């Protein structure tokens, strides 16, 4: 007989766990095998997703288990889905059993839950069993709704699914549960190999297991779960910041999963702002009525002053101190943010004109309402780092201030407002030479951000309304990185989550990842906008007979003129004949080149500069060139444009998570 210790060593060596039962109440010492963005927090919570970048998250029991064709299994876990937003979450997550031979790194995030990808969904060779807790309705998987529990065998098209909830033991009534309610809940999953029956139950945490299960279905897993397999959890992030936590988990092969002691589970982090500190309370001296009244008066004055100038400051901001403005200074600079100081209101907030006390510097103060703290630290770090960018075609950022629910950004004031006002407004139109100078200026600012600075800075929201004109009518790019803030904080009210319709590169819509080449795409849309004096996409007011809103797509229109051998006819009619035909020809063709659907076919900003200043000839467009919109129309109904359309409405839960991947 082998000595016990040697046997143990052998087992460890083949990496298969002989123990068939485990229980974790918190995971600080579980030694889970984690990949992607999954992590165990210092409190011992398993945190699957914590970003908005379409990343994968997997967490498995440290060693794979040996399943047999006749193995039954049982598991239970307590989880919570905590979204930054009240009524919006990313797709959920899943408990899974997957063979060790499976390479999960080729799975996809978002609605694929880190389980499958678009090509292997439904493939019997996957041999993956999963129970999904899904908070998004994905029509492509025939999901029943946006809050369901599903049994998935090799496919995200669930074999059986039920609305999240449980049957009350006492009354038998069905009670809804909202998976994304941020409240912990418990799931029980049992597979009885003899009866080939799977049962799933769900209940609020600390409630006993409901007698009547939520789901019962007969599926023979003997060819699915048989072999050495990992057991654990899988998820993928998407554009909404949403955290999937597992608080405790137990499992048993051929037995009942050990019960979890809720008292021993780690606590979820508190959500929402800290309770108000007591310092606002005013101690009232109980002397005479008069004294009390006087104290109240003074107290109210102090309180008012305090509230008026209240700021939000956190420890991590110390290092950014020099870039921090006092709210009182900004308040005074803008005469209390009076309406007559209002320069404009855009997707990201309102901008006020002001003069800083002391230095008398003219500034523009942008108030961005922003409830979420998530990503704020990275954002401020980025703002401060961008504040060090110095270029004559970039709007200089001076610093910031934070208040509750609000971020204030301080820029140098640009006296001639934004370019879109001159292009589309009623004011005096720009002549061709001015337009070309602005185009070249913006290109050089962008080249500096992309290639010439110490780190690559991606703008993410290039468009005419983000180009401001200084006293000499030079174009200067502003609003760097704001799109990024919304990326992290994902505000459903704004359509600017990662940019602006018509300027969004198709791969950015699909993957959520901004690159220098997605900036080049937006720059292409900008070129056409400036040369033609029209917006990239214009909606017609009236619906047509089919009830569709007609849409004017600038790139398609310019391409049509090019095909007819007269691209120059696309030039803004307001210019009359007052433009240089060769220059306009270059700008228009360059616009289309930058708008190429394939990032690899777009020029870099360095090449763009060379084409613009004539130091390199602009290659002809290939005769086969099509715009993104045309390509989408050629593809099936769910094309990129379809995604754009839903992106713009940005209110439907189902479509929010589609954004990443449904374009394919």
Ligand X SMILES: *[C@@H]1O[C@H](CO)[C@@H](O)[C@H](O)[C@H]1NC(C)=O
Enumerate binding residues for ligand X (CB under 6 A): 37, 39, 50-51, 103, 106, 117, 119-122, 140-142, 155, 157, 176
Cβ at position 127, least distance to ligand X in Å = 10
Cβ at position 453, least distance to ligand X in Å = 24
Which 3 state secondary structure label does DSSP give 10?
A: helix
Tell me if 186 sits within 8 A of 77, measured CB to CB. Answer: yes
Cβ at position 650, least distance to ligand X in Å = 22
3-state helix, strand, coil in the chain (%, to 5): 30, 25, 45
Measured from the CB atom, is 102 or 323 closer to ligand X? 102
d(CA 472, CA 416): 9
Cβ at position 406, least distance to ligand X in Å = 21
Cβ at position 633, least distance to ligand X in Å = 21
Helix (H) or strand (E) holding 46: strand 46-47
323: alpha, beta or left, given left = phi > 0 and alpha = psi -120 to 50? alpha
Tell me if 263 sits within 8 A of 281, measured CB to CB. Answer: no
Is 274 known as a binding-site position?
A: no
Retrieve residue 623's tokens: 């005769």
Residue whose entry in the numeric block shows the structure tokens 């401020």: 380
d(CA 98, CA 76): 17
d(CA 49, CA 55): 8
Q: Which residue, judged by CB position, is nearest to ligand X in the bound state?
A: 122
Cβ at position 271, least distance to ligand X in Å = 14
Helix (H) or strand (E) holding 613: helix 605-613
Say what angle helices 605-613 and 516-532 make with each other, to 10 degrees: 30
CA nearest 156: which of 115, 189, 217, 194? 115
Q: Cβ contacts of residue 636 below 8 Å, gap of 6+?
A: none
Measured from the CB atom, is 140 or 583 closer to ligand X? 140
3-state helix/strand/coil string of 563-597: HCCCHHHHCCHHHCCCCCHHHHHHHHHHHHHHCCC
The total of other beta-carbon atoms located within 10 Å of residue 578's CB is 10
d(CA 225, CA 231): 10
Cβ at position 126, least distance to ligand X in Å = 6
Measured from the CB atom, is 354 or 663 closer to ligand X? 663
Measured from the CB atom, is 121 or 643 closer to ligand X? 121
d(CA 439, CA 332): 36
d(CA 131, CA 153): 9
Cβ at position 78, least distance to ligand X in Å = 21
Measured from the CB atom, is 120 or 479 closer to ligand X? 120
Cβ at position 157, least distance to ligand X in Å = 4
Cβ at position 106, least distance to ligand X in Å = 4
d(CA 283, CA 295): 9
Measured from the CB atom, is 155 or 474 closer to ligand X? 155
The two counts, helices (H) then strands (E), for the chain are 15, 27
CA nearest 499: which of 528, 537, 534? 537
3-state helix/strand/coil string of 468-511: EECCCCCEEECCCCHHHHHHHHCCCCCCCCCCCCCCCCHHHHHH
Give the active site residues.
Answer: 461
Half-sphere exposure of 525 (CA within 13 A, CB side): 28
495: alpha, beta or left, given left = phi > 0 and alpha = psi -120 to 50? alpha
CA nearest 468: which of 400, 421, 503? 421
Helix (H) or strand (E) holding 28: none
Measured from the CB atom, is 141 or 611 closer to ligand X? 141
Q: How far apart are the first and last CA of the chain?
A: 58
Q: Which residues are annotated as a binding site for ATP?
A: 366
């Amino acid at each position: 007989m082998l000595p016990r210790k040697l046997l143990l060593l052998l087992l460890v060596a083949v990496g298969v766990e002989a123990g068939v039962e485990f229980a974790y109440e918190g995971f600080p010492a579980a030694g889970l095998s984690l990949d992607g963005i999954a992590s165990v927090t210092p409190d011992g919570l398993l945190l699957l997703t914590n970003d908005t970048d379409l990343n994968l998250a997997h967490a498995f029991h440290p060693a794979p288990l040996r399943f047999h064709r006749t193995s039954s299994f049982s598991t239970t876990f307590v989880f919570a889905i905590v979204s930054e937003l009240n009524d919006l979450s990313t797709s959920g997550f899943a408990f899974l059993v997957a063979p060790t031979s499976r390479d999960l790194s080729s799975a996809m995030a978002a609605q694929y839950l880190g389980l499958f990808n678009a090509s292997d969904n439904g493939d019997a060779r996957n041999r993956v069993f999963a129970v999904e807790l899904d908070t998004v309705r994905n029509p492509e998987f025939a999901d029943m709704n946006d809050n369901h529990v599903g049994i998935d065998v090799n496919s995200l098209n669930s074999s059986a699914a039920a609305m999240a909830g449980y049957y009350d033991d006492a009354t038998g009534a069905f009670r809804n549960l909202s998976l994304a309610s941020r409240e912990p809940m418990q799931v029980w999953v049992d597979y009885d190999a003899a009866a080939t029956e799977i049962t799933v139950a769900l209940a609020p945490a600390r409630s006993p297991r409901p007698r009547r299960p939520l789901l019962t279905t007969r599926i023979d897993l003997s060819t699915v779960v048989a072999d050495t397999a990992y057991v654990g959890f899988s998820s993928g992030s998407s554009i909404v910041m949403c955290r999937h936590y597992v608080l405790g988990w137990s499992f048993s092969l051929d037995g009942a999963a050990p019960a979890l002691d809720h008292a021993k589970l780690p606590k979820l982090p508190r959500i929402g702002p800290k309770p108000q500190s007591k310092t606002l309370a005013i101690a009232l001296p109980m002397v005479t009525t008069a004294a009390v009244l006087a104290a109240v008066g003074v107290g109210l004055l102090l309180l008012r002053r305090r509230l008026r100038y209240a700021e939000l400051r956190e420890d991590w901001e110390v290092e950014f101190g020099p870039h921090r403005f006092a709210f009182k200074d900004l308040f005074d600079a803008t005469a209390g943010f009076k309406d007559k100081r209002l320069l404009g209101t855009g997707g990201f907030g309102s901008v006020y004109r002001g003069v800083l006390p002391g230095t008398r510097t003219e500034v523009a103060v942008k108030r961005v309402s922003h409830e979420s703290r998530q990503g704020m630290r990275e954002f401020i770090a980025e703002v401060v780092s961008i504040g060090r960018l110095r270029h004559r075609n970039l709007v200089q950022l001076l610093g910031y201030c934070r208040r509750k629910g609000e971020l204030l950004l301080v820029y140098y004031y640009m006296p001639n407002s934004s370019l879109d006002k001159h292009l589309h407004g009623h004011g005096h139109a720009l002549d061709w030479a001015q337009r070309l100078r602005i185009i070249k200026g913006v290109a050089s600012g962008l080249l500096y951000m992309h290639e010439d600075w110490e780190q690559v800075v991606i703008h993410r929201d290039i468009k005419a309304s983000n180009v401001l004109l200084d006293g000499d009518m030079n174009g200067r790019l502003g609003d760097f990185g704001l799109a990024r803030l919304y990326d992290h904080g994902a505000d459903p009210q704004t359509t600017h989550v990662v940019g602006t319709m018509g300027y969004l590169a198709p791969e950015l819509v699909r993957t959520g990842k901004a690159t220098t080449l997605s900036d080049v795409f937006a720059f292409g849309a900008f070129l056409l906008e400036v040369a033609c004096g029209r917006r990239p996409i214009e909606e017609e007011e009236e619906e047509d007979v089919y009830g569709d809103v007609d849409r004017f797509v600038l790139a398609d229109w310019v391409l049509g003129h090019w095909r007819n051998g007269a691209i120059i006819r696309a030039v803004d009619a307001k210019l009359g004949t007052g433009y240089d035909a060769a220059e306009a020809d270059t700008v228009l063709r360059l616009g289309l080149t930058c708008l190429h659907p394939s990032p690899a076919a777009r020029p870099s900003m360095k090449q763009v500069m060379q084409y613009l200043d004539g130091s390199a000839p602009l290659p002809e467009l290939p005769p086969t060139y099509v715009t993104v919109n045309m390509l989408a129309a050629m593809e099936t109904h769910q094309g990129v444009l379809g995604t754009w359309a839903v992106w713009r409405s940005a209110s439907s839960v189902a479509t929010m998570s589609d954004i990443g991947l449904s374009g394919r």
